[in-house]
Amino acid sequence: MQAMTDAPGVAGPEGPAHVAIIMDGNGRWAERRGAPRTLGHREGVQALKRTVQAAPDFGIRCLTVFGFSTENWRRPVEEVSDLMGLVRAYVSSDLERLEREGVRVRILGRRTGLPADIAGIVVRAEERTAHNDRFRLQVAFNYGGQADLVDAAQALVDRAAREGRFEVAEDDLAAGLSGAGAPPLDLIVRTSGEQRLSNFLLWEAAYAELVFQDVLWPDYGAEALAAAVAEYRRRNRRFGGRPAQPVLAAG
């Protein structure tokens, strides 16, 4: 694994340093097999393990995955309960390995409203891996991009109330987001063939490349990630600018 830093930049000339994945398709994967959706979620956890292990091989220093959105609470109670159970199982089975392999775990999203034991798991995972700097794994859990922006804006309002009027810069708002400190986002991948962001990393996505893949998330792994990275490396990232045109000499 390559060393992780919080400074902007890419891992080498090709990148990407920071990849985010919307892990979509667990339910459809299960339905196509005549199985309950819970099986799709369980297989999705295995796909996450494969992807985390493969990511450093492509120069990725930070991986952010969309685990549970603020809107997912609207799903049936049984499905929400199963998703919470998978969080418990994943942390209990993999936290020691992640800590040992130098992975720093960050949980993005609101902590309020989480079951008490899940909130405790979040704290334990972050505290046990806080010293690691080889790779950064960010799990967006009880997360929504709009909610994250609202929370960051509210923090600025509270600051203004304490300190009086002040001007807000882009960096001020960015510093209040739950993913602050991660490398700039290079690539967002969505699986299952859907082509939308679904309220994920709205601020961070400003200049990220978007890649949509038809593979369902439980089937994901190193091969699919390699294809997404290869597509990213074919892109020409201009960040709103364009190369200067050569000046023709008069004569």
- Contacts of 79-84 spanning 24+ positions with Cβ under 8 A: 79/37, 79/38, 79/41, 82/38, 82/41, 83/41, 84/115, 84/118
- Residue of 234, 172, 236, 174 whose CA lies nearest to 204: 174
Give dist(CA 170, CA 176) in Å, integer.
10
Confirm whether 199 is a catalytic residue: no
Beta bridge partners of 138: 64, 106
Cβ–Cβ < 8 Å for 204, 179:
yes
From the candidates 72, 133, 199, 219, which is the catalytic residue?
72
Structure tokens at 91: 């942390």
Confirm whether 132 is a catalytic residue: no
| Beta-strand pair 62-69/18-22 | parallel
Dihedral angle computed from the Cα positions of residues 92, 96, 102 and 103, in that order, rounded to the nearest 10 degrees: 0
Give the 3-state secondary structure of residue 11.
Answer: coil
Cβ–Cβ < 8 Å for 102, 133:
yes
Give the 3-state secondary structure of residue 94.
Answer: helix
**CA neighbours closer than 13 Å in the CB half-sphere of residue 100:** 6
From the candidates 24, 94, 148, 186, which is the catalytic residue?
24
**What positions carry a catalytic annotation?**
24, 72
